[in-house]
Amino acid sequence: MSSEKIIFKNKKGIELEAEICNPADQITHAYALFSHCFSGMDDTSVIDSIKRGLNQKGISVVTFDFTGISHQNEYHADHEDILALTDYMGEHLRSPQILIGHSFAGAACIVAANRVASIEAVVTISAVIKSSHIKKLCTPDKENTALYNVTLGDNHFKMTSSFFNEITHQNIKEIIHKIRIPLLIFHSPQDEIVDITNAEKIYSNAFHPKSFISLDYANHFLSNPQNGYYVGNNIATWSERYVQMEPEDPLVTQHQTAVRIGTTKYVTEVKAGIHHQIADEPIEDGGKDLGPNPYQFLLAGLGACTAMTLRMYADHKKLPLEEVTVHLNHEKEYLKDAEDTNKRTAKLDKLYRNIQIKGDLTEAQIKRLMEIADKCPVHRTLENNPIIITNLLEE
């Protein structure tokens, strides 16, 4: 997954940094602004996981570190900076339709929601909104009365007193109440930093349509990347109901499939037509096991083509074929007559295909179906030793 940096100025004229990550095929159906408090973690792959889940539904994601930990200049958390970023997006990209906020950024998104006309949906993740919880995590800065010190787990950053006052104000219930757009709330019952009663407060004071998804067994920072991918997928699926998804500058291409990998090994995005998949390696091989490995995709292609071919043949011949199940394995075996078994060329790739056929069929019909299996297009392609032509594409 690759991201591009965005430099924008807040209302004080300070340059801040955000990142944008587009879908693999570069076709954007909607824009989301994702402000988070994950940057103080040693492993921030949860951010990539959330972005990837959204990218797979055609949603471009602009991410912003609300803590300022990743910013190179002195930064103080303030909801006004989220508004400044929405202005930048409206001028240079497209105004965001989805506002996503984690932890204190979740509270900031609630405050900002009614001030951005383009917003069609708001999502909070482990948001802190109750004054009692906020005051436990924030203390006045002794050197600067315009700031508060924030302790969020092992992470420390500063926020402006104006933002602190905004989210601890007695009218915060009214602010939530005024959000008349779809709202999705994520929170973990096991969150030890921000209690789940914060989510209850948001939900009870918001109008419908509103939804709550429990992040069972997750911590405040969703440190398991699979939690992030779960959140991203659910946001994307939920958004399809409420957000106007329109492609911007559709990509014209002759390519049938696009595959992309970034710095998160070995999670790889696969885009085939309108369909998205994730490829990965198992944990024992250094991956995160978020999807099939490349050989499993190869086997799946052969198995799917085999099953479809048998279905087509049976339908054409009006055979009482009820079900086909194809079990496949890939193995590398040494050639029996190879003198040097340490050489790569001494190994032979073997694909084992075991077919189960159900239906009131005669032995002759079953035998014919097994012969037809060898005629499936993918089988023939693999047996024909296809030539792979590789070209370098300019960016």
Residue 200: how many CB atoms within 10 A of its CB? 15
For the CA atoms of 306, 312, 316, 322, the dihedral, rounded to the nearest 10 degrees, stands at: 80
* Residue 251 CB-half CA count within 13 A: 18
pLDDT of residue 251: 39
CA distances from 125 to 83, 145, 309 (A): 19, 29, 46
pLDDT for 346 beyond 80: no
Average pLDDT of the chain to the nearest whole number? 88
What pairing do the DSSP bridges indicate for beta strands 210-214 and 183-187?
parallel
Q: 294-383: CATH homologous superfamily?
A: K homology (KH) domain (3.30.300.20)
**Intrachain domains 4-242 and 294-383 with the same fold:** no
Max CA pair span of the chain: 89
| Domain ranges, ordered by start, for the chain | 4-242, 294-383
d(C-alpha 130, C-alpha 196), whole Å: 10
What is the CATH topology of the domain spanning 4-242?
A: Rossmann fold (3.40.50)
Query: How confident is residue 120, by pLDDT bands cut at 50, 70 and 90?
Result: very high
Question: 103 near 128, Cβ under 8 Å?
Answer: yes
pLDDT for 243 beyond 80: yes
Choose the most confident range, by mean pLDDT, from 13-17, 27-31, 177-181, 183-187. Answer: 183-187
From start to end of 111-182, where are the E strands?
Answer: 121-125, 138-140, 147-152, 155-160
Q: Check residue 346 and report its DSSP letter.
A: G
pLDDT of residue 254: 64
pLDDT for 37 beyond 60: yes
What b/e readout covers 266-300, taking b as 16+ CB neighbours within 10 angstroms?
Answer: bbbbbbeeeebbbbbbeeeeebbebbbbeebbbbe
Question: How far is Cα of residue 185 from the mean position of the Cα atoms in its chain?
Answer: 17
Query: How confident is residue 340, by pLDDT bands cut at 50, 70 and 90?
Result: low
pLDDT of residue 336: 60
* β-sheet bridge partners, residue 260: 269
